[in-house]
Amino acid sequence: MSLTDLTLLEAKQKLKSREVTSVELTKSCFDQIRKLDSQVKAFITLNEEAALQRAAEIDAAGAYDTPLAGIPIAAKDLICTKNLRTTAASKILENFVPTYNATVIERLNQAGAVLIGKTNLDEFAMGSSTENSAFFPTSNPWDLTRVPGGSSGGSAAAVAARMCFAALGTDTGGSIRQPASLCGVTGIKPSYGRVSRFGVMAMASSLDQVGVLARNPMDTALVMSVIAGHDPLDSTTLPAEVPTYHEEAQSDLSGMRIGVPKEYFEAGGMAPEDQQVIQTALETIKKLGGELIDISLPHTKYALPVYYLLMASEVSANLARYDGVRFGLSPSEDQIRQLDDIYLLSRSAGFGAEPKRRIMLGTFALSAGYQNKYYLQAQKVRTLIKRDFEQAYERVDAIVTPTSPTTAWEKGEKVNDPFKMYLSDIYTIPANLAGICGLVVPVGLSHSLPGGLQILGPQLGEQVVFNVGEAISREISFQEKPAILG
């Protein structure tokens, strides 16, 4: 067995008992990357020298007591890393080297983690397949002709291909949960305000959250308890205490009320054979003593249009800062006659088609005369969507749904049809609009491709979704591996 087959908690145990060293774990990850990443292409930038040095320091000090001491971890490449290039998979930031760390990176460092590299994504996290990266698409380790999902597709593929023990991602409309489902790994989108976004490039600030992808719920929970919590540098973070989720987990479903929203299971949503995997997971919940309760979230049908109005509006504001003046791509001096030339030339050359599409859509939605018609209206409907969930959580402890209407699709299948691509996020977007948390756990294969169950919890209900996820995972015991792992 290769060291990379260990789960994060197993690796941690072996470090503590001195059966392995951090250098050995870190080297095993880079060996795996050398072996597979020319096919998977999960990483934009590797941090090999610094990672090995840090691992050696941890080994030399025997400092294995912190929560992630010596554990190799990757981060999505829109999370700022001091002295390590951070591109957002965009030409406009191709050579950007941050001078500071995001808070989540600082917290990983303090916990002893070893940062091995930066993973690929859809440009500025806009997309569902990682094909919108300005550099290269990432492949799904289960089938290299297929997409890994997105936008945190590099993180999901790296975890699935055992290139790291966990990875950070971000989720604005499903970008952690959907690739987790398509790559057969676990992923959490925390509640809005649970994790600091300081130093994380903003896509849509009322929706973005940083979260974790790992092999199973308890590995994910451990990393979550490290990165979560109030941050004085991000005023949107909540002061609520952070549980040590993996230690406090209770994997007993008996007496739990689990909501099954009819809108997520309606005909025409999922292919019947893919739905079978989810049905089996629902049966498992019942078998474990959970009570399945039919519920309705009636405003679900408005989630996609509401999201595309609000997200695009916020994108158009957030991406205004990439103007070619202080950092990132700038035109050469002989091209500049007046100030506007800098903006025009750097933004025209720097942004790809998808960010441009959304900047234009958002600028339109916010323009004079249209703001009340579109933006304000969308905000009102957002409140209704949020209320649907609040009412549901008066009756149930958690809600379960499919994560994605399909398993991983072929590369090229949707990339030229944005609307088709947008529809693939239909089950994940409502949680972002409502600010609630969601965990995805792999529950089976359909035609040899993985599918994940989405477990939605109330605001700050991370412990509940970890509990439910852990109970289901133990029972289902998803052990299948992508064929390329041999």
**Which stretches of the chain bind ligand GLN, using CB under 6 A?**
125-128, 151, 170-175, 203, 311, 425
The answer to whether 451 touches 444, Cβ cutoff 8 Å, is: yes
Question: Within 13 Å, how many C-alpha atoms sit on residue 427's CB side?
Answer: 31
Return the number of the residue (116 or 426) whose C-beta is nearest ligand GLN. Answer: 426
The answer to whether 401 touches 411, Cβ cutoff 8 Å, is: no
- Residue 34 Cβ, how far from ligand GLN at the closest point, in Å? 29
Kindly report the backbone phi and psi dihedral angles of residue 191, in degrees, each rounded to the nearest multiple of 5, phi listed first.
-60, 150
Return the number of the residue (127 or 141) whose C-beta is nearest ligand GLN. Answer: 127
The answer to whether 172 touches 203, Cβ cutoff 8 Å, is: yes
The answer to whether 436 touches 451, Cβ cutoff 8 Å, is: no
Return the number of the residue (127 or 193) whose C-beta is nearest ligand GLN. Answer: 127
Kindly report the backbone phi and psi dihedral angles of residue 158, in degrees, each rounded to the nearest multiple of 5, phi listed first.
-65, -40
Return the number of the residue (69 or 203) whose C-beta is nearest ligand GLN. Answer: 203
Which H/E stretch holds residue 361? helix 353-365
What 3-state class would DSSP assign to 139? Answer: coil
- Residue 319 Cβ, how far from ligand GLN at the closest point, in Å? 13
- Residue 454 Cβ, how far from ligand GLN at the closest point, in Å? 14
Residue recorded with tokens 């880079």: 30
Token pair for residue 365? Answer: 């939605």
Return the number of the residue (172 or 467) whose C-beta is nearest ligand GLN. Answer: 172
Residues, the chain, total?
Answer: 486
Handedness of CA 125, 127, 129, 133 (dihedral sign): negative
Return the number of the residue (81 or 170) whose C-beta is nearest ligand GLN. Answer: 170
Tell me the pairing of strands 257-261 and 291-295: parallel
- Residue 162 Cβ, how far from ligand GLN at the closest point, in Å? 24
Find the residue with minimal CB distance to ligand GLN. Answer: 175
Catalytic residues: 76, 151, 175
- Residue 173 Cβ, how far from ligand GLN at the closest point, in Å? 3
Which H/E stretch holds residue 395? none
- Residue 148 Cβ, how far from ligand GLN at the closest point, in Å? 13
Distance, in Å, from the CA atom of 167 to the CA atom of 73, rounded to the nearest integer, reads 5
What DSSP string runs through 429-453?
A: HHHHHHT-EEEEEEEEEETTEEEEE
